């Protein structure tokens, strides 16, 4: 009775003559913006571009049908379970998904987050339906709870975004690295392109005649690993060689007062510009203001490095994280110890001198798109689904 009631809005008989090839289950995609959400949208976009006749149903725990969804189609059907009570929403999705699995017997289920892995294991394993868990970064870098660990270890496969995330998850949780497949982040080369500086933005931020370093990051006290404070500490040394240097920081959060005080204490407050939050549609114009993208961080991957390179900007990252993939182990950018201001300063000076091939904006863009563009992402997704 409960199954009939919960599943009454799910038309599982539609297209009954066609096999439901795939099922995707995610926490949320459209309610909030973020790196994971952007990554999943790339999966949807590429899935719809596959010429394979694949069909999939997507179950979304925290999203509502009222969300704007450009991916709804005959080959990609969405089902929403947002509820004022998270527990009720989870039960409804679980029961409806069970009914779906019993009647449709899909080829494969893709679990979009470790927090859903136990549920997916409990539903799929008794039915003999294989499932794959998608992982991204820090959510699997620390020891997992016993149930989550069993769900991950029992999966038919694991996808992740970088070698670093794979290696760290395996080392911490004793996973089989041969089970983990790579689906790196993608960059839209049409959305992020080189361009000239907009005069109104130059004037707004006081950047006339300046060499501009830029970072896009959340300024949360829990995210100091982004390295904004390290870059501020590097500014006095950089300014000795490039007295016209300024640092444009895009993002907001509760750590901004500390960062502003640090800049004042170091005598570089006039060189640090806090731009606050910038919406995605305005971000590219801000990339065009910069001479280099600087983020000595610890990332699971670092999509912002690809965005910057697609805009023709040289990039600097930390040397012990997932940025090794977008920067191709240093071939496409500078990788330095992420908490070392002296190393950051030395690399920034080298970048601003512009003599290295890694400062060639057109070459950087070509490399980034060839390796991580939408076509490369779609081809890799096809390979993973076919295997």
pLDDT in tens, 231-276: 999 999 999 999 999 999 999 999 999 999 999 999 999 999 999 9
Q: Strand pairing of 211-216 and 272-276?
A: unpaired
Q: Which CATH number fits domain 199-372: 3.90.1150.10, 3.30.43.10, 3.40.50.2000, 3.40.50.10490?
A: 3.40.50.2000
Distance CA 197, CA 123 (A): 53
2-186+374-386 sits in which CATH class?
Answer: alpha beta
Residues of the chain with CATH 3.40.50.2000: 2-186+374-386, 199-372
Sheet holding 292-295, edge to edge: 272-276, 245-250, 211-216, 292-295, 315-318, 334-336
Angle, helices 228-241 vs 256-265, to 10°: value is 30
Half-sphere exposure of 372 (CA within 13 A, CB side): 31
Q: What is the pLDDT of residues 187-239, one digit of tens each?
A: 999 999 999 999 999 999 999 999 999 999 999 998 889 999 999 999 999 99
Q: Is 296 helix (H, G, I), strand (E, B) or coil?
A: coil
Q: What is the pLDDT of residues 356-385, one digit of tens each?
A: 999 999 999 999 999 999 999 999 999 999
Output the pTM of the full model. 0.90
């Amino acid at each position: 009775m409960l199954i009939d009631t919960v599943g009454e809005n799910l038309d599982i008989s539609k297209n009954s003559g066609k096999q439901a090839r795939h099922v995707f289950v995610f926490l949320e995609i459209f309610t909030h913006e973020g790196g994971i959400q952007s990554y999943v949208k790339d999966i949807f976009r590429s899935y719809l571009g596959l010429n394979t006749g694949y069909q999939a149903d997507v179950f979304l725990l925290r999203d509502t049908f009222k969300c704007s969804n450009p991916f709804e189609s005959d080959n990609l059907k969405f089902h929403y379970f947002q509820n004022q009570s998270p527990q009720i929403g989870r039960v409804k999705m679980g029961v409806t998904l069970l009914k779906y699995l019993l009647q449709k017997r899909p080829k494969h289920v893709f679990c979009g987050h470790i927090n859903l892995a136990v549920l997916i294991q409990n539903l799929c394993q008794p039915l003999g339906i294989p499932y794959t868990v998608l992982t991204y970064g820090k959510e699997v870098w620390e020891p997992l709870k016993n149930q989550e660990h069993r769900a991950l270890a029992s999966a038919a496969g694991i996808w992740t975004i970088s070698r670093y995330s794979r290696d760290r998850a395996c080392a911490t949780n004793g996973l089989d690295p041969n089970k983990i497949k790579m689906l790196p982040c993608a960059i839209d080369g049409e959305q992020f392109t080189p361009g000239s500086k907009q005069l109104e933005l130059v004037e707004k931020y006081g950047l006339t005649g300046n060499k501009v370093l830029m970072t896009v990051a959340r300024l949360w006290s829990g995210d100091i690993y982004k390295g904004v404070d390290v870059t501020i500490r590097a500014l006095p040394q950089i300014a000795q060689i490039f007295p016209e240097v300024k640092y444009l920081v895009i993002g907001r959060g509760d750590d901004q007062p500390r960062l502003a005080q640090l800049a004042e204490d170091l005598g570089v407050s006039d060189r640090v510009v806090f731009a606050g939050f910038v919406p995605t549609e305005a971000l590219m114009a801000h990339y065009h203001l910069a001479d280099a993208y600087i983020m000595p961080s610890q990332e699971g991957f670092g999509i912002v490095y690809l965005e910057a390179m697609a805009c023709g900007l040289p990039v600097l990252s930390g040397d012990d994280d997932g940025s090794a993939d977008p920067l191709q182990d240093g071939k496409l950018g500078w990788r330095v110890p992420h908490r070392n201001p002296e190393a950051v300063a030395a690399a920034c000076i080298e970048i601003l001198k512009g003599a290295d091939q890694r400062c060639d904006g057109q070459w950087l863009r070509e490399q980034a798109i060839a390796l991580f563009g939408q076509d490369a992402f779609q081809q890799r997704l096809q390979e993973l689904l076919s295997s």
